[in-house]
Structure 1
Amino acid sequence: MMKWLWLSVLAVILDQLSKIWIASNMNLYQSMPVFPGFNITYVHNFGAAFSFLSEAGGWQRWFFALLAASISVGIVIWLKRLKPEETLSAISLGLILGGAIGNLIDRVIYGYVIDFFDVYYQVWHWPVFNIADSAITLGVALMLYESFMHKQQEG
């Protein structure tokens, strides 16, 4: 099911191009309103999801880079072992792989991940995220959907 790797490549390209555009056209912490509930806000995330370990002193950069690289290798092996009828699994894994590589590139090059999607309601803001994070989230959601649908078909 390696034919779905184009999704990974697409996710990485869209992610990296968007981050380059943001970093080239905005100042750090600058925020541009798009519509109520959504801003483009340029931030650096030195941690993982939800800025987990962002204040850890620097070691987390290489820890998360190594983790993402290891997971990426595991996903490629998993993709190779999928059966032809496991299309949704291949799509899910392709998106997760693309997201992991997109954020891995940032960690290795910059030491942080560039985030910019800022979703909020009144004064509550969801942690700022990017296209790579969105690809990972969509991939995981599709994987969960598939597992629930598979369980319903069995039961």
Structure 2
Amino acid sequence: MKILIYSLFIVLSDQVSKYLVLSTLGFERTKNIIPNLLNFTLVQNKGAAFSLFSNSTNFLTITSVVASLLLITIILRSPPKSYWNFIGLAYLLGGTVGNGIDRLFKGYVLDFLELVPINFPIFNLADVSINIAVICFIIDIIKHKSKIYY
């Protein structure tokens, strides 16, 4: 159950951050947050990561719902056996549900974090969470392999 509570916290953080940026900034405006590093620029992303599958809202919505339900099933049936796997699953579920809520209720994902010095797609906290999950899974694999060989 702890993992679902952590995931819920991630979902709430993602949704509240999107709401706050939307209500204070609105679309098509940019607010510099950290000079030469970070802007808030709210955009509607109708695709997936790096705008893949643009304008495939129905497909991406169904994929988000199915992935979220699959993750919940995995978590409940086979609880994580390591700290890094636990954290990774919590962040992955939180990020997947966060963006899934946008797709389900808005038809697009709200992205707002813009890294100024590089030409990188605008993203949100759910995207950050999914990337943290990948890092956690990699750490878990490395730690698990090191136990096998030593």
| TM-score, L = length of structure 1 | 0.88
Q: 2:130 aligns with which of 128, 132, 136?
A: 136
- Report the Cα distance in structure 2 between the residues aligned to 1:29 and 1:141, rounded to whole angstroms: 32
Residue of structure 2 equivalent to 1:40: 40
The range that moved more, 102-111 or 71-80, is 71-80
Structure 1 position 120, deviation (Å): 2.8
- Report the Cα distance in structure 2 between the residues aligned to 1:104 and 1:83, rounded to whole angstroms: 23
Q: Secondary structure at the match of 2:91?
A: helix
Residue of structure 1 equivalent to 2:86: 90
Residue of structure 1 equivalent to 2:16: 17
Structure 1 position 84, deviation (Å): 6.3
**Where do 5+ consecutive residues of structure 2 fail to align?**
none
Structure 1 position 150, deviation (Å): 0.9
Check conservation: 1:116, 1:129, Cα contact below 8 A: yes
In the TM superposition, 1:41-80 aligns within 5 A as 41-54=41-54, 56=55, 60-80=56-76
Q: Secondary structure at the match of 1:42?
A: strand
**1:40 partner amino acid:** F
In the TM superposition, 1:139-154 aligns within 5 A as 139-154=133-148
- Report the Cα distance in structure 2 between the residues aligned to 1:50 and 1:74, rounded to whole angstroms: 24
Residue of structure 1 equivalent to 2:77: 81
- Report the Cα distance in structure 2 between the residues aligned to 1:34 and 1:66, rounded to whole angstroms: 34
Check conservation: 1:39, 1:118, Cα contact below 8 A: yes
- Report the Cα distance in structure 1 between the residues aligned to 2:79 and 2:108, rounded to whole angstroms: 36
Say if 1:23 and 1:87 are closer, same or farther in 2 by CA, change over 3 A.
same
CA RMSD of aligned residues (A): 1.5
| TM-score, L = length of structure 2 | 0.91
The range that moved more, 82-91 or 63-72, is 82-91
Q: Secondary structure at the match of 2:114?
A: strand
Q: Count residues with an aligned counterpart.
A: 148
